Amino acid sequence: MMKSLCIIACGKKKIWDENPEKGPVKAENLYTGSFTRKCMQYAKKADFGSWCILSAKYGFLFPDEVVQGQYSECFHNKTSNPITLENLFLQIKSKELDKYEKITILGGNYYTHMMKKLFSEKEVLNPLNGCKGIGHMMKKLNSLINTASL
């Protein structure tokens, strides 16, 4: 069986938006937006070897990694100083993400292009390619969840 990694694009809405007093939190509980939650639901149900979230501040976060507090870095806003491709390359090595043969990204075209740069030697897939807007992506994710095997 080919080892596969699912990478989920981070979302803007975080647990501290609703609960500012909440302390450090695990990455899988951090993002509260409906799109990110739906992506996690699919990643957990599908037959991936592992999954992580791509954070604009911290890079690749596995579900159990703890994030200390609120942040506002965003890949689409370069003035917010998101993590660099160079640092993401270093994380791929240090977190052994290069052991996966197949990479599935859940996010828009921007993230697909970024992952193809970072994992240029790997097969990079995005089942949401071709979706027009968030509503279409959510519908596609629901379909993927319904057909995924546990």
Q: How do residues 60-108 score in pLDDT, each as one tens digit?
A: 999 999 999 888 888 888 888 999 999 999 999 999 999 999 999 999 8
Q: How do residues 119-141 score in pLDDT, each as one tens digit?
A: 999 999 999 998 888 999 999 99
Q: Give me the pLDDT at residue 2, please.
A: 58
Q: What is the DSSP string of 73-105?
A: -BTTBGGG-PPPHHHHHHHHHHTTGGG-SEEEE
What are the phi and psi torsion angles at 76 (to 5°)? -80, -10
CA–CA gap between residue 70 and residue 23 (Å, rounded): 9
CA–CA gap between residue 130 and residue 37 (Å, rounded): 21
The CATH architecture that domain 4-147 belongs to is 3-Layer(aba) Sandwich (3.40)
For residue 7, the surrounding DSSP H or E stretch is strand 4-9
pTM, two decimals, is: 0.93
Q: Give me the pLDDT at residue 71, please.
A: 85
